[in-house]
Copies of this chain bind each other. A is one copy, B any other.
């Protein structure tokens, strides 16, 4: 099964071997930990999943309405995700749109992959 149109390139840069395969180098560990730390908050995980599961992109106004948190707090979490290279943002007029950075999500997925267990991916 070949690749689909919008997502492709990604697994080209694994950046480092799966954690099950070889010890992580300290420098790579710092890099990866930065991303995992950004995922280490329930609110941010939900924000990311809202962004990633929306078609193409997602407006901040849609996000805010899903949480019982102040706007500055949502903005703060988005900044953390942005600085962890997990999402990209793009202002168009009054609104700001967010997109997932699938190449980095794929890297994180790959590094946790368990040999012999295909990390299945839903929806064919």
Please report A residues at the B interface, Cβ cutoff 8 Å: 3-4, 6-8, 10-11, 14, 17-24, 26, 29-30, 32-34, 36-46, 48-50, 52-53, 100, 102, 105-106, 108-110, 112-124
State which of B19, B40, B49 has its C-beta within 8 Å of the C-beta of A49.
B19
Separation of A110 and B36 alpha carbons in the complex (Å) = 14
Inter-subunit contact A121/B122 (CB<8 Å): no
Separation of A41 and B122 alpha carbons in the complex (Å) = 29
Known A-B contacts A39-B40, A41-B33, A119-B119; the reply to A53 vs B22 at CB < 8 A is yes
Separation of A43 and B22 alpha carbons in the complex (Å) = 15
A122 to chain B, nearest CB (A): 5
